[in-house]
A and B are shown apart, each in its own frame.
Chain A
Amino acid sequence: MQGSIDSNAAVANGHEVAAHEEHQDLRVLGLITFLASEFLMFAGFFAVFLVFRGSHVQWPPEETEVELLLPAVNTLILVSSSWVINLGTKAIKKNDLAGMRKWFGITAAMGAVFLAGQVYEYMNLGYGLKTNLFSNCFYLTTGFHGAHVFIGLLLILGVLWRSRRANHYSDITHTGPEMAEIYWHFVDVVWIVLFTLIYLLTLLN
């Protein structure tokens, strides 16, 4: 406010043209901002979980132990899928559409396997949402995470669907795949925290 800055017309007009574009970079920025906020919702769930964990003698209570093997395998699948999807966006940045479709397809498959594993786990645990406070927390957090994985899966499938159109994604326009990737990483990070809190911490008991 102290000094006045005079810009020339060219700068102003350049900005104007930019304003009419699709704001490619801004969408990525917006998504990251949104996900930072979204993460805090999970943080709320985790905080509740930790409070209950700290205030109960036995946590999880006896009849509601968690299984470890299947979730560990699931974790491996989800974490490595984050790496796979990254290969996909790297491919499209080199204008390799087929490569992107291949890696995104694999990621989608891995995500589907993760969700299937989650459902299998739910069906074989022997307790449900209402059983006790631990199962409340367990199903709520994993369920909400699962819903986010599902949305991520839809995003990836959406990218694959759109990639059928010629020239929709290229080394210049690849915001769609990039955003799907960021979202997928987010889902992954949430899972890592969740897995640590709900599964791994039980090993300390």
Chain B
Amino acid sequence: MAQAEVSIKPTEAQGGHGHPDKWKWYDYFTFNVDHKVIGIQYLVTSFLFYLVGGFMAVLMRTELATPDSDFLSPELYNAFLTNHGTIMIFLWIVPAAIGGFGNFLIPLMIGARDMAFPKLNALAFWLNPPAGAVLAASFFLGGGAQSGWTSYPPLSEITANLPQTLWCVALIMVGTSSILGSVNFLVTIWKMRVPSMAWDQMPLFCWAMVATSILALFATPVLAAALILLTFDINFGTSFFKPDAGGNVVVYQHLFWFYSHPAVYLMILPIFGIMSEVIPVHARKPIFGYKAIAYSSLTICLVGLFVWVHHMFTSGTAPWMRIFFTISTLIVAVPTGVKIFSWVATLWGGKIRYTTAMLFAVGLLSMFVFGGLSGVTLGAAPFDIHVHDTYYVVGHFHYVLFGGSVFGIYSGVYHWFPKITGRMLNEGLGKVHFVLTFIGTILTFTPMHNLGMQGMPRRVAMYDPQFAHLNQLVTVGAYILAVSVIPFYINVIWSWMAGAKAGPNPWNALTMEWTTDSPPIIENWEVLPVLTHGPYEYGMDKADQVGPAGEPTEATRV
């Protein structure tokens, strides 16, 4: 890497910031403002919370192996189902996909040295661990919140008041974190791209993060409002959601879902971005339909703000609402379909490499087709009336959130681990991980659809014995999923310490993050790169400018 140009490096700038040449291990436990450190902090903490949420899921599935409530107390079961959902959404997928990959990759992808507001960024991260601690505390101070991650009043106002309040506090903290992060992403992408990068030369992950950030900015404060009202109802004697004092329980649902449906897109849009990065690299082909994919992210973001009532088709919603939101919901299928078709077309005719990153990406594609189709059936109000609040819904959203988001996070980890740590993950263990996860996912979440249609409601600790066989199958699947993370965690820990050295560009990829060292130096580049080709120009002359070993040629260096 050392070249004559290195001397141009403005040394006084580095001296001015007063940071060392390389971060020590303990720097990762401090209020560090480097976007890469923050990205790693997000990823590592979220992977820890993933284990906690997964542990709760395993206990719940163990309870559900038999129809009777005989393993956990019903209160504990409800606390687990509430906190499983809360942790998996707010402390696993959102921080991993948005906080982790977003922070680590965006400055590297657009040729910036850091995010626009590094201190704010660090603050946003450091809101997360305390939020997790507050949730943990809610278990010891009254058995945890027990009214589901939706926390509908009046149930949430008469059950476990202190844990419920702590739950609200934790969510307001992660919500604030999410808003601060989004401000940072938007301003960074808008203003800090390397001067030679036009909007339509940005990697698609950045487009996805633009859409994600806009959505988070619009939706999250409304959740905060709902939770503040709920907190006041519980603790300060107000009656916003108390029907016997003139309050209205449905108003909460509107506020909640105005955030929480977009939250689904918060969890999948960054993943779509990861897909658009991983697939072209490992299929060795330009992304098919760059503009269509970029704009479909924005379309999903826009339409996604107007579909929330489909979570309330059986609630207190007027007929016109049920119809309006049926149609708006179905419309979301179109931009999502465009993305899926574009990725399939990217695969078509490529030279597909069977890397673990690629396997997870293609696995995601496959899962998402199923999850998307079941989503369309749920969008149609007449059918949703039947399966709303049943295991059909549980099956559907786990297909899109586990088969979608979690597969995407895995894919992203396998793809960027070399960049993040400078070492390769073990491909053999990776494939074991993939196979176990793929089988486990299908086994766990497919029978749930049948259960729901046949009549099993969700969020139950005890159920009709006629459903016992399918539930046992689901439980077996869940155990396989639990086992599947073992090779992954071993792989990550072992490879981080002793994996093969990666070099700057092990996949021979064209986006800008691969033009710097692995792991990137502090401030990312010694001399900022200049854009000489688009992010996906595989098979074109331009691509030859990056040599096979990934060493940038003279042309890409200043």
Write the residues of chain A forming the contact surface with B, with a CB cutoff of 8 angstroms: 1-2, 4-7, 9, 11-17, 19-20, 23, 25-27, 29-30, 33-34, 36-45, 47-48, 51-52, 55-56, 129-130, 132-133, 136-137, 140, 144
Contact = CB atoms under 8 A, between A and B. Distances in A.
B547 interface: no
Contact of B192 (A6, A17, A19): A19
17 contacts: A7-B195, A12-B528, A13-B8, A15-B194, A19-B114, A20-B13, A23-B117, A25-B191, A30-B184, A33-B183, A34-B179, A38-B221, A43-B222, A47-B254, A52-B246, A129-B238, A140-B228
B196 A7 contact: yes
B251 interface: yes
B113 A16 contact: yes
Interface in B89-117: 112-114, 116-117
A48 B229 contact: yes
A16 B528 contact: yes
Contacts of B180: 34
Nearest to B255: A44
Given A6-B530, A48-B251, A132 B245 contact: yes
A6 B251 contact: no
B542 interface: yes
B246 A16 contact: no
Report, nearest first, the 6 A-B pairs whose CB atoms are least far apart: A1-B534, A44-B225, A41-B221, A136-B238, A130-B237, A7-B196
B240 A136 contact: yes
B16 A12 contact: no
Contacts of B558: 9, 12-13
B220 A12 contact: no
Contact of B531 (A5, A27, A41, A45): A5
Contacts of A132: 239, 245-246
Nearest to A46: B225
A129 B117 contact: no
Contact of B251 (A20, A40, A43, A51): A51
B532 interface: yes
Given A2-B534, A129-B236, A136-B238, A40 B222 contact: yes
Contact of B239 (A9, A25, A27, A133): A133
Given A48-B240, A51-B248, A33 B217 contact: yes
Contacts of B537: 1
A5 B198 CA distance: 9
Contact of A7 (B254, B290, B531): B531
Given A37-B182, A56-B246, A140 B528 contact: no
B261 interface: no
A68 B182 CA distance: 39
Nearest to A20: B13
Contacts of A15: 194-195, 528
Main secondary structure of the interface of A (DSSP, over half): helix
A135 to B, nearest CB: 9
Nearest to A21: B13
A42 B222 CA distance: 8
Contact of B530 (A7, A38, A133): A7
A1 B251 contact: no
Contacts of A38: 221
Contact of A26 (B16, B117, B196, B237): B117
A44 B256 CA distance: 10
A1 B532 contact: no
B186 A33 contact: yes
Nearest to A7: B196
A37 B388 CA distance: 31
Given A26-B187, A36-B217, A52-B246, A5 B255 contact: no
A4 B186 contact: no
Given A12-B194, A30-B117, A40-B218, 18 more contacts: A1-B536, A5-B532, A12-B530, A15-B194, A15-B528, A17-B13, A26-B116, A37-B220, A43-B221, A43-B225, A45-B229, A47-B254, A48-B229, A51-B251, A129-B237, A133-B246, A136-B238, A140-B232
Contacts of B218: 37, 40
B378 interface: no
Nearest to B287: A1
B527 interface: yes
Contacts of B191: 25-26, 29
Nearest to A44: B225
A113 B251 CA distance: 35
A44 B116 contact: no
Contact of A133 (B186, B221, B245): B245
A41 B222 contact: yes
B200 interface: yes
B123 interface: no
B511 to A, nearest CB: 11
